[in-house]
Structure 1
Amino acid sequence: MVRIIGFKRREKEDGTPFFTLELQGGVEMVKSLETGQFYATAKKANVTSTFDEATCKALIGSEMPGKIVKKVVEPYSYVVKETGEELVLNHRWIFVPEGDEETIQDEAIDQLMANPSSFSRNGQQELAEQAI
């Protein structure tokens, strides 16, 4: 399940306004690579909508069946607001409705097939594992 936690007003190229809904998944515990300590976090994603502002406000707190998953995309620049640091990312977090899991599986296979370093080139398993 994901929860609608907010919304944002955006504009199309022609200046027409529309709203996106901000979704958040459940709490997850992640182990820090630097400290080895666990911390709580939640994945977030934005989805476009056809709703007006009043409807978006009314939807905050609503839950929907589905999950937020990582999708590999073409690299893009992202600036961390707090520090001004510019990062190059190659993924986005997207919402996948419940029952659409085959889409996730198909994308995972496509990503694996698109990365030839995932496979051994000499038939030795240990080298294939190192490439991952």
Structure 2
Amino acid sequence: MVTVKNYFLNQSTDGKTYVCLELIGEIEILISEKTGKFYADVKKCKIPTRIDETTAKLIVGREIPGSIVKKECAAWDYTIPATGEVITIHHRYEYEQ
């Protein structure tokens, strides 16, 4: 199961606005490679929808069947907000039913 955490309004290349849902998966307990200590995390992703903003507001907090899986992709840079460190990532997370 995944949970609808939030929604966002995005704009397509043709200028139309659409709703995107942010989904989160189950909590995971991981071990830091740097410190060796445990920390909690959740996988998350965003998916586009054909629903309107009013409906999106109603489904925030709901659980839906499926999971969020790690998929390999072209490398991209990510800045860690807490430290400002830039790292290269070779994956993304996607919703899978």
Please confirm whether the aligned pair reaches a TM-score higher than 0.5, indicating the same fold.
yes
Aligned to 2:46: 46
Q: Would you say 1:3 and 2:36 are equivalent positions?
A: no
**Whole-angstrom distance in 1 between the partners of 2:37 and 2:83:** 23
Gaps of 5+ in 1: 98-132
C-alpha deviation, 1:81, in angstroms: 4.5
C-alpha deviation, 1:83, in angstroms: 4.8
C-alpha deviation, 1:12, in angstroms: 0.5
Q: Would you say 1:71 and 2:78 are equivalent positions?
A: no
Against the structure 1 CA distance between its residues 39 and 82, is the aligned structure 2 distance closer, same or farther, given a 3 Å change threshold? closer
Greater per-residue strand proportion? 2
Gaps of 5+ in 2: none
Against the structure 1 CA distance between its residues 80 and 96, is the aligned structure 2 distance closer, same or farther, given a 3 Å change threshold? same
Identity of aligned residues (%): 36
Q: Secondary structure, in 3 states, of the residue corresponding to 2:26?
A: coil
Aligned to 1:96: 96
C-alpha deviation, 1:79, in angstroms: 3.7
Against the structure 1 CA distance between its residues 35 and 77, is the aligned structure 2 distance closer, same or farther, given a 3 Å change threshold? closer
Paired residues, what number?
97
Greater per-residue helix proportion? 1
Q: Would you say 1:36 and 2:36 are equivalent positions?
A: yes
**Structure number with bigger Rg:** 1
TM-score, structure 2 normalization: 0.89
